[in-house]
Structure 1
Amino acid sequence: MEHLLNQHVKDIEISGIRKFSNMVSQTDGLISLTIGQPDFPTPAHIKNAGIKAIEADFTTYTHNAGTLELRKAASHFASEKYGLDYNPESEVIVTMGASEAIDITFRTILTEGTEVILPGPIYPGYEPIIRMMGAIPVHVDTRQSQFRFTLDLIKPYITDKTRCIVLPYPSNPTGVSLTEEELKEIAGYFKDLDIFILADEIYSELTFGRSHKSIGCFLKEKSIIINGLSKSHSMTGWRIGFLFAPENIAKHILKVHQYNVSCANSIAQKAAYEALTAGLNDAVTMRKEYEARRDYVFQSLQAMGLETVKPEGAFYFFVKIPDTIPLNSFDFALDLVKESKVAVVPGSAFSKFGEGYFRLSFACSKETLELGLGRIEQYLQKWR
């Protein structure tokens, strides 16, 4: 019966991140620097809110868009942190993580043959959804611009088929973020174009040196902003995301969300409300620790002679594989596991423009980083 399946689904593959992780996960003594989630526990007061919700039998469906109290809290969060203005009654949708928000957005705005412009390298979660809609992902090479997806790079790829551009900042895998000036330039150019902007801002609370800026402040009418609590409050498994969009767009996305999941988990919504009220600044402590780890890893990589961009947000380094190593990124990562029992993510998992690099996560303890980086340094010696 396989021949009857949707060809768009048959043509996509499992994420390169998952594929590689599954291959090496059973290696004894492995130091994993692949993890894409915080290593901190969910704050206790948030967990307690979830427990209380269970005990209070808050276990039924909520409004499709999420409880109004949570939507109000999310709206306040977006306003307080980033200066965004969204009506909680009609312009905020609580989703099953940022992943579902991306899915329902693409399923609402894309049609067969339309194009989506994305920076490369990029997190692999966008392209499969685009392709399942029969749309075409158009990757733009950002390697020569320090991974910055600037207007000058975007403009040559705009066609009459362009339906959307994706701004995934702070970036997974590069840690790069766009400045206010760069965002204003993009907003000014797209103001008169019938093109959506999808801004995935899931790492917005984890920025270093400067606060996050959102394209929604400059071009609200065409922007769909995605955020959530997975990274900011270490709540990956709670699966709570937020979608912010103008009412005339959000009302249609809500229909797709309704038929997809009905509503987000009711227990998790109560925990999320606690996170965005009593825990509004829970990310601060984690961010300070990430910044210290970032500085340590950056100094270590430089001492090894490895080329990388210093992350401005998130918790990843995207590191160039030395020219002296005659292996593609997947084989390099496999060899590193085999020889030194350290796992990193091959750059090829992040589009063809990630080839020649590897992603290293610093969402792990200082001790783990020290041990892992020490093993990488020893491994590099055999190629010198």
Structure 2
Amino acid sequence: MSPARRAIAAFTRVHGAAPKGVWSAPGRVNLIGEHTDYNDGFVLPFALPYRTAVAASPRDDGRLLVATVGDDGTVQHASPVAVADLEPGVVKGWAAYPSGVAWVLRDQGVVGGADLVIAGDVPAGAGLSSSHALECAVALALLGLAGRSVDDLPLVARWVRRAENEFVGAPTGLLDQTASLCCVEAHVLFLDVRSFEAEQVPFDASAHGLEVLVVDTRASHSHTDGGYGARRAGCERAASVLGVAALRDVEDLDGVLGRLPEELRPLVRHVVTENERVLAAVELLRGGRLAELGPLLDASHASLRDDYKVSAPELDVAVEAAKAAGALGARMVGGGFGGSAIALVPVERHDEVVRAVLAAFAERGWATPRTFTAVPSAGAGQDR
């Protein structure tokens, strides 16, 4: 059963009536362009077919009642909270994500209460943006219940980022929210995070005999942990030392590295070279040269592993096993310290690559990873 149908069924069971509407948003995978978004750089994500759905109806008492429904139909309720009383730190755990969105939208005049029932199939903790799928779906639901237009999706993405940064306490950039809201089927989203200038670039791997294989290592990660925030702070410090607004403004990499404290040089090197890789990848896609993406993916992973130091043993093993079995290139995706990797794989080598990755994990006694083929899918919207 789809997340939307599960959400509707659970909502009807809990509240005794069908919801006024259902909104959903997808997880995402980033083809290339990692840790560049909060440096005003370039990213190249696409939406996954896995989604989070929110069945919603308005309340007239100003309270927010949120529940989630599991695959088995089990419903978990969060404590009710008045929208007027929402402040950072008031709500803890998973309920902080939808509550944070309501808190931000309160400043935009969306002050009514709501019943929300949430269901999803985006793998949690896999670096595939499950939290942002939840927040984007909640944002669209609350705006929809209030009768507010959602024509300006980049603005909604900024609201969601504020909820994540200030209410949840995760210092994320704009990549995940924008991908979930703005991606379209059969395309990757080439986004300049500074200007928000965007281009939908066609991406049909199967037409080239290729696929993007996702390996969820099941090594969980969290953006609220200190490693992500420390790197973001390091980038901001480096930009200040160099006298630029953001690291995307660094042009002469070799010339500026000597001006930086030693511990900041690898961060700058990654961001600058990763932006270059995104631009190179877009040119390949525009020219229909998908099979040439492999070396860029490999270089991205090496940079994230060696310079940015956000990889993990599970990610490195997944990447190396996939490449040894015939993948054209592979890299970790997401914030790092766990989560998922992607591999660009000739379709005829799919089974061989999957077997190699599973065997490599089994040899080390690690949990069996989840694998699936990622197909660029539709962004967020109203289901009914």
Query: How high is the TM-score relative to the length of structure 2?
Result: 0.28
Task: Please give the TM-score of this superposition, normalised by the length of structure 1.
Answer: 0.28
Structure holding more strand per residue: 2
